[in-house]
Amino acid sequence: MASVLVVEDDQFVRSALIRHLSEASHTVRSVGTALEALREVAHFRFDVVILDLGLPDLDGGEALKMLRSITDVPVIIATARDDESEIVRLLNDGADDYLTKPFSVEHLSARMAAVLRRSRAAGAEAPPPGVLRVGGLSIDPLRRTAELDGSGLDLTRREFDLLAFLAGRPGVVVARKELLAEVWQQSYGDDQTIDVHLSWLRRKLGETAARPRYLHTLRGVGVKLQPPPDAPGAAPLAEPSA
């Protein structure tokens, strides 16, 4: 069975969804605002999120974009809105499926089952990645752990994804557009999102933008991760050819 987060501000609808999902043996947590939803996915692992669009603090479409910046959990939109252009936009923004209210519990169950099958099949097809080592950095994508000089790094989900992606391409300058597409699963976005996460990551690596050791930003080009000359086992890396 699945671990489900219900994001719905209508107490009647919310209670009905919790009851149905619990009766189907799913583990359910529920919240009524976008901010609470973001906190939940940051602290707990879910198999699927059921997201209403008419939230009191933030439109569900914006909440979806924010969720996608920190997690790749499957999201099913559940709302009374039925405008086709909006449905297409939400699917392009990262929603995995869309249900228009009112809907039956059987319909919801079928959509959930389909989304979970796709998600689990995709995970099964991916080969288990090996441990990535860049100088004193050691990143285990399978266990989602990272160490620097033997000490564990306390990284958020997105910080880990960013570090692991760059560690898989040591010494290679990765364009910001590619980072948005591969790490954030967004075709476009604000560069500030990347800058903020790089700043947090640098702090945990014990460096700064002015005095980088592992993370190097090339203005107007992109970002690269490479070991500093004094890192254990480090060898000078040639600059990538233009």
CA–CA distance, 232 with 137 (Å, rounded to integer): 9
Q: Rounded to whole angstroms, how far apart are CA atoms 199 and 54?
A: 33
Buried b / exposed e over 65-82, threshold 16 CB at 10 Å, is bebbbbbbbbbbbbbebe
Q: What is the pLDDT of residue 128?
A: 54
The model's pLDDT over 192-226, given as tens digits with 9 standing for 90+, comes to 888 889 999 999 999 999 999 999 998 878 899 99
- Which residues, in sequence order, are CB contacts of 205 under 8 Å at separation 6+? 137, 148, 153, 213, 214, 215
CA 81 – CA 102 distance, rounded (Å): 10
Instruction: Give the other-Cβ count within 10 Å of 152's Cβ.
Output: 10
Q: What is the pLDDT of residues 48-92, one digit of tens each?
A: 999 999 899 988 888 998 888 888 889 999 888 878 888 888 888
The span from the CA of 229 to the CA of 227, in Å, is: 6
**Per-residue pLDDT tens digits for 93-127:** 888 898 888 888 888 888 898 888 877 766 555 55
Element (H, E) at 118: helix 105-125
Nearest to 147 by CA among 102, 209, 61, 205: 205
d(CA 186, CA 51): 19
DSSP string, 29-70: EEESSHHHHHHHHHHS--SEEEE-S--SSS-HHHHHHHHHTT
> What does the mean pLDDT of the chain come to?
85
3-state secondary structure of 16: helix
